[in-house]
Structure 1
């Protein structure tokens, strides 16, 4: 099964140096090795393990919905929180 991972900023406090705002969307697709949208390198670096796992079907037992998670960027003074959602790619 192939998935595309969609990130959406759902919360942002303080001043994000990369300019992320609530509602920003990013799409990561391992099938064509693409990223659509703008994402801070610090946030990307920290979120990639979760994105990779979800893209290949991992299920985390603490999630209510296996297809939806959240992730906060590592900037504790100006946190950006992303919703991480996987969607099946229609083949």
Structure 2
């Protein structure tokens, strides 16, 4: 069963021009739900893609991805921390 993944900005370290606390990005399988998402930073999306692939799928309960609570974008100068939420769809 697929999942909806909701990433919510909980912290921004530096002066990120794209995200502020409270901003969201919503994924349903391989799709970004534009109507429910804010701005999209290519570097953040590409850096988080391996996690998103696993988060959107049904995985065994003991799988490490089910314990993932936050994801950080790869920008070393202005990292943004996203809280991870999953909902069955």
Q: Fold match, TM over 0.5?
A: yes
Unaligned runs of 5+ in 1: none
1:1-12 mapped onto 2 (5 Å cutoff): 1-12=1-12
TM-score, normalised via structure 2 length: 0.80
Aligned residues: 83
C-alpha RMSD of matched pairs (Å): 1.9
Q: Is the 8 A contact 2:29 2:57 kept in 1?
A: no
Residue matched to 1:22: 21
Aligned counterpart, 2:44: 43
TM-score scaled by length of structure 1:
0.79
Give the number of the structure whose residues are more often helix, by fraction.
2
Which structure 1 residue ranges, 4+ long, deviate > 3 Å from structure 2?
none
